[in-house]
Every structure is written in structure tokens, then in C-alpha cells.
Amino acid sequence: MLAEIGLISTLFAFIAALYAIVASVYGERFAHSHALVTSGRNAVYLNFVLMTVATLSLQIALMTQQYQISYVWSVSSPSMPDFFRFTALWGSQAGSILFWSFLMSAFTAGATFLNWKSQRRLMPYAIAYMMAVVAFFIGVTLFIENPFDRWWILPTGDVVASAFIPAGAVAPSAAQLAQTANGLNPLLRHFGMAIHPPMLYLGFVGFVIPFAFAMAALASGDLSTNWIKVSRRWALIAWVFLSLGLILGGRWAYDVLGWGGYWGWDPVENAAFLPWLIGTAYLHSVMIQEKRGMLKTWNMFLVIGTFSAVIFATFATRSGLVDSVHSFARSEIGFPMFAFWFILTLVSVWLIVWRSSRGELKDDHQLKSLFSREALFVLNNFVFIALFVAIFWGSFGAPIISELFMNTSITLGADYFLQVTPPLFILLFILMGIAPVSAWGAASLARMGRAVLIPLALTAASIGLFVVGGVTEIGALFGYGIVLFAGWVAVVETVRGIRARQHVHRENPLTSVIALYTRNPRRYGGYFIHLGITIIGLGVIGSTVFQQETQQTLAVGESLSLGIYEMRYDGFLANQIAEDGRVMDIAELTLFRDGVEVAHLRPRRDFFPEATDMNSMTIAGAHSTVENDFYVILVNWEQISASSATFKVYINPLINLVWWGGLILIIGTMLAGYPRETMPVRVREKLHAVPQGA
């Protein structure tokens, strides 16, 4: 029953999406029919309702264990806890594409609802673009990766998955299906992994909205900053979810993959990082268009680039592109995806060229000073794009080109990325430090020099602390210095803003702080985000440059020491059975710091008796402080007596700053996206919007 409901809803959602595209564009452009355009909008809402029903049916099928549905069978099993039953919705390809379509549909409905009245010129085209993306993904769900397929036993005895009942087929018995159900890959049963995909998807989907509105601006001819204003908050939401998704993915790798690191420059990770890079460039670059009316064409290309990166990332990871171009070309979704991306990009580029040739994308200003804020922003864009190109080349470009044209396969490993990206990241941090103290239009070096004096002094003082703390490596100190400078600039500029307000308005400090963030959320929220990035940067440098490791076999009662820590092996708990059926072998350790007991650690190995392929999982034990993580992996043990066991131990300095920086980044984004509630601005925006909408 659920499968039928899901399938039918998805089918009608697909039709609704197609109708919305046709009604909007035809109604607006050719028929000039208000009623038709309005019916297009209603189709958007209908699409959302139907996709909600479809997604809910799959979710309910998962929760109620309808194993005849082959998707449910392949990602869940009777012993799985409800939480993972819930997250299994995006546990494999078919479900995750349905979920992706649902999120996109929800975002489209939201963007339509919020802007229908105020952006009448943009909306029909924006709807067409957004619905085109929705329709494509629903189409993939319907025709290629159907999550509502069910198992059937043919008269010949073969078992097949099909959406419709094949002639003469019968359903397999529920008990047998339940018994053979796969269950979610144990590696994915981690909190970070459970919520990492939806975060990424929200980020991906969110970035389609600015794309749709930018293209709507081109199509409708409303080339004011309306499309930027409308999509700014969506871009911010997308950005923060994408950032969060990346950080959670790192956290998962750190906790589960057991190599003491969080980023391995794997193509799959890089694919998700690419939209982040280009999206971040876009978030900076649109500010120039809003403030100075510059870079109009460039922003259009950035927004197309973000969209392309999103589509690429969605598929690259799961279509086999990572392994080989050939398998990608042969994978079922490879060609449709490429065709979809190609057509949408072609239409978009054509729109840009058309508007541009009519002189409608002319910039209001030109770059004048090398140290003006807009010049530094352009440089910032350049570096982001350079990083994008370098990472794309390393992960996909070189392997694909060598495979297509050189009849061999060349891959670039982590050493490529470790060589190419650090100089670019350094340049970014330098820009992050000096751009906030530069001025729009033209800036004098003298003024900038004065503005950076205090941050420079604070940076020097912090470096001094690092030196006192025992860091002597010049390279690392240089890295810390660059990163800290960017952070101190953010702090000093914020303090300066608060003090200026206090001076002028004679308020109490708290009022000033609140006023600062509500009156100028983007600027000061942005600084807050910069601070988060600084903290992440410190964590990355510390944990990469100063990681210590050792491994040793210990008998019960013996200890090993690493740095300031000493770890004692106390004993072993074998065959502990957990709620979800996993069997745990646990080593019990006591951790001492400078001779004082600080923690009991329990690194373990979990065994999943029911899993068919991947059936064991190493779970590290960690003791976290601000200063570092003491991270221990149970490598092996004496089978029966467990009288001795082998451990691999890491000290990861400053690693927690990576996660905490992520938290600050979220707060900063919330501040930056906080609606600015001041009358004059509202009035000004309204006055601005009326003549264009008329």
C-alpha cells in the first residue's frame, strides 16, 4: 500500500512540476495570462504536498519495516534501532535522491511563498528553473532509481525488484524478507554520518535558489539587485548547512575511520568541498554588486558555477565517476545527469550572453585602487576559484583527461593537495585579514596601516604565547600568525564598532552589541564567521603539523607514554552485547597526565553478526581537552586471555578547535542572516522595488 501511495504521489509530483514550468513560462512570456502564471504557482505547492506524501510513505515503510520494498530491505533490518531506521531514508542512492527532490521541492515552495507578492517579474522564471531541477530529480526517482520497487518472485523462481507486479509473480513471505534484510552499513551507524548527508543536501539544494533567481533576472529583464536580495538568505542558509555537512563528515571520519585524521583529500570529500568554495566566492562577490554595482556578469557565472558544482557533487560521489570515467558513462544516471546539466547551463550562458550583448549587464563602477575593498574582493574570488580549479583538477580533471585522451590513468594523491592548496589558503587568510580594514572605492595604504596596527600587535602577542607554550617551528608559527591576524582583525573591528556606537549613542555596552549586530548584521556577522574560520584554521595547523603517534603492545598492567600522557592497560571486556545486536570487545585503559589520573578510556572493536559484508568496526577512545585529543585505537588483542593488547595512540593538538570553530561559524551565519529590522532600510527597499515591479 505504502509503495503504491509513494509511487503515485511521485508520478503526480512529476507532472505538477512539468506543468509549473510550462504554465509559468508560457503564461508570462507568450500568453500574458495572470491566471496561467498563478496556476503554475499552485502547481509548485501541489508538488510540495505530493513530494511530502511520497517521502513520508517511504519513511513510514522504513519505520514499519515493509521489507517487500526493496529499498527498505536493502538499508534496514529488524534489529536496527529506530533512529537509524529513520536516517535510512537517505542511506542509499534511491532514497537519497527522493529525499533530495523533497528538500528541493520544499525550498521551491518556500521561496515561492515568500517572494510571490514582492517579486512578480522574477517569480515565473524562478519557478521554472527551480521546478526544472525538481522535475529532473523526480524523473530520476521514477524512471531510474525507484525507491518504491518491490520484490517479486516470478513463476520461474527468479526474484526481481519491480514497481509493478510482473505477470504471475507472487510476493515473497514477509518473514523470509525480514530474515535476509541487509541492515545499514555499520560504518554509517554514527550520529555524524546520520545527519551529515541531509546537511549536505540542504546546502546543495539551497544553492539552487540563487541560481534560479539569477537566471530569472536574466530571463525577465529585472536586472536590478532584486534577485540578490531575494536569494541572499537562501545562499547563507545553503552555505551554513554545507559547512556543517563538511565539518560533520570530518567528525565522522575522525571518530569512525580510525586514522586520527578528519580530511583525506578523497575525491568524494573534495566533490562536496567544491560547491562550498565557489559558493563562498559568490557570497563575497555579490556584496560588491549590491554596494557598487560591479561584477554583474561575473556573479552570474559564479552562480552557474555553484549550481554546476552542486549537480556534479550530487552525482560524482555515487555514479562511479570517482573510480573511472567509463563506469560513469555507463552508469544509469551518468548520461541523463550530464544532459540535464548541459542543457540548463547552455540556456543560462545563452541568457547571459544575450543580456550582455544588449548592454544590460554593464557595471556601474570600475576597479580603481589596488587596495580598495572591491579589488581585494576580486582577489578573494580569484583565490577561491584557483582553489576550486586546483582541487577539481587533482580529484577529477587529471584522472579523467588522462583516461580519455592518454589511454592511461593518472591519479593525484594527498601529496598533490598538500603541496598546492596551502599557499592558496595562506593567501585567503591574508585577504581575510586586510579586506575588512580596506574601504570601498579607494583606500589609502596609510589608513590601512593604522587599522592593522592593533591586530598586528595582538597577533605578535599571541605568537609569543605559542612560543612560550613550546612551539618553535618557524613554518607553524608563520601559519598561526597569518590565521590569527585574520581573527584579530575581526575581533578588533567588532570592538571598534561597539565603541563607536557607545561613543555616539551613549548606550550601555550590551545595547551597543545588540544594535551592532541588528543594524549591520552582514558586516559583523561576517566578522563572526571569520573568527570561526580562524579557529578552524588554528585547529587544522595544530593537528596537522604537530600530530604525535606511537603504537605498542601492552600486557595487563603495563603502560605506554606519549608526550605528556601515560596510558595503562587495565583489562579487557570481551563479547559485550549491545542493544542493536553488535558484539563489543572493549579494552579498559587509564590515562594519566603528568602522573595524575585524568580519564578512563574504552577503545573497542564492534562486530556485527548480521551484516553480510562489512561486519566489524573500530571505535576509538578519546580524551579531549582544549589543548589536544588523546586518541587511542584498539588494534588487536591476545584472543582468549586478552592478557596483552596492541594500541595505536595519537595526540592531536588543537583538534577540538576545528569542531568549535564550526559552532562559531553557525552562530556567525545566524547573525549575518538575521533580518535587519530598521524602518529606513525597509522603506528604501520598498521605494526601490516599486518602479521595477510596475
Partner 1 sequence: MTELSWGKTADSAAAQKSRSGERLKFIIGGALLLGAVVFLIVSGTMSGARYFITVNDLLTSPEEYIGQSVRISGAVDGTTIVYDSTNLIIDFTIADIPEDTTDLALTLHEAVNDPTAARISVHIENQVKPDLLQHEAQAILTGVLQPDGTFVATELLLKCPSRYEESVPDQVEETGV
> In the range 360-399, which residues lie near partner 1 by CB under 8 A?
361-370, 375, 379, 382, 386, 389-390, 393-394, 398-399
Q: CB nearer to partner 1: give 82 or 415.
A: 415
| Least distance CB 204 / partner 1 (angstroms) | 18
> What residues numbered 208-227 form the site for partner 1, per CB under 8 A?
none
* Inter-residue contact 471 to 515 (CB < 8 Å): no
For residues 564 and 556, give the distance between their C-alpha atoms in angstroms, rounded to a whole number: 21
- Extract the C-alpha cell encoding 514: 545588540
Please state whether beta strands 583-593 and 604-607 pair in parallel, antiparallel, or not at all (unpaired).
antiparallel
**Residues 6+ positions from 405 with CB-CB distance below 8 Å:** none
Q: Is 641 in the site for partner 1 (CB under 8 A)?
A: no
> What residues numbered 431-490 form the site for partner 1, per CB under 8 A?
none
Q: Is 675 in the site for partner 1 (CB under 8 A)?
A: no
For residues 292 and 362, give the distance between their C-alpha atoms in angstroms, rounded to a whole number: 12
Q: CB nearer to partner 1: give 91 or 537.
A: 91
For residues 548 and 562, give the distance between their C-alpha atoms in angstroms, rounded to a whole number: 8
| Least distance CB 269 / partner 1 (angstroms) | 13
* Inter-residue contact 43 to 16 (CB < 8 Å): yes
Contacting residue, 54, 271, 300, 412, with partner 1 by CB under 8 A: 412
- Extract the C-alpha cell encoding 257: 575511520
**Main-chain dihedrals φ then ψ at residue 568, nearest 5 degrees:** -110, 135
> What residues numbered 252-271 form the site for partner 1, per CB under 8 A?
258-259, 266
* Binding mask of the shown chain, residues 6 to 45, with x at each position contacting partner 1 by CB under 8 A: ----------------------------------------
Q: Is 180 in the site for partner 1 (CB under 8 A)?
A: yes
Contacting residue, 34, 330, 503, 676, with partner 1 by CB under 8 A: 330
Q: CB nearer to partner 1: give 12 or 416.
A: 416
Q: Is 678 in the site for partner 1 (CB under 8 A)?
A: no
Q: Is 314 in the site for partner 1 (CB under 8 A)?
A: no
For residues 395 and 413, give the distance between their C-alpha atoms in angstroms, rounded to a whole number: 8
Please give the size of the binding site for partner 1, defined by CB under 8 A: 82
Q: CB nearer to partner 1: give 23 or 622.
A: 622
**Residues 6+ positions from 54 with CB-CB distance below 8 Å:** 5, 6, 7, 9, 10, 13, 98, 102
Closest among 572, 564, 607 to 589, alpha carbons compared: 572
* Binding mask of the shown chain, residues 116 to 155, with x at each position contacting partner 1 by CB under 8 A: -----------------------------------x-x-x
Q: Is 157 in the site for partner 1 (CB under 8 A)?
A: yes
Q: CB nearer to partner 1: give 144 or 398.
A: 398
| Least distance CB 177 / partner 1 (angstroms) | 6
Q: CB nearer to partner 1: give 24 or 77.
A: 77
Q: Cell numbers 514582492 label which residue?
A: 118
For residues 416 and 481, give the distance between their C-alpha atoms in angstroms, rounded to a whole number: 24
For residues 236 and 218, give the distance between their C-alpha atoms in angstroms, rounded to a whole number: 22
For residues 190 and 606, give the distance between their C-alpha atoms in angstroms, rounded to a whole number: 13
Q: Is 670 in the site for partner 1 (CB under 8 A)?
A: no
| Least distance CB 318 / partner 1 (angstroms) | 6
| Least distance CB 382 / partner 1 (angstroms) | 6
- Interhelix angle 474-505/445-468, nearest 10 degrees: 120
- Extract the C-alpha cell encoding 423: 599557499
Q: Is 557 in the site for partner 1 (CB under 8 A)?
A: no
Contacting residue, 86, 416, 425, 674, with partner 1 by CB under 8 A: 416
Cα 200 to the chain's mean position, in Å? 4
Name the DSSP class of 161.
Answer: E
> What residues numbered 602-631 form the site for partner 1, per CB under 8 A?
612-618
Q: Is 639 in the site for partner 1 (CB under 8 A)?
A: no
Name the DSSP class of 189.
Answer: -
For residues 480 and 493, give the distance between their C-alpha atoms in angstroms, rounded to a whole number: 20
Please state whether beta strands 596-601 and 604-607 pair in parallel, antiparallel, or not at all (unpaired).
unpaired
Give the other-Cβ count within 10 Å of 385's Cβ.
Answer: 16
> What residues numbered 45-84 form the site for partner 1, per CB under 8 A?
70-71, 73-74
For residue 431, the SS3 value is helix
Q: CB nearer to partner 1: give 433 or 662.
A: 433
> What residues numbered 495-554 form the site for partner 1, per CB under 8 A?
551, 553
| Least distance CB 95 / partner 1 (angstroms) | 11
**Main-chain dihedrals φ then ψ at residue 589, nearest 5 degrees:** -130, 150
| Least distance CB 283 / partner 1 (angstroms) | 21
> What residues numbered 226-255 form the site for partner 1, per CB under 8 A?
none
Q: CB nearer to partner 1: give 183 or 436.
A: 183
Choose the binding region for partner 1 from 236-244, 419-427, 507-515, 649-657 (rule: CB under 8 A): 419-427
Q: Is 430 in the site for partner 1 (CB under 8 A)?
A: no
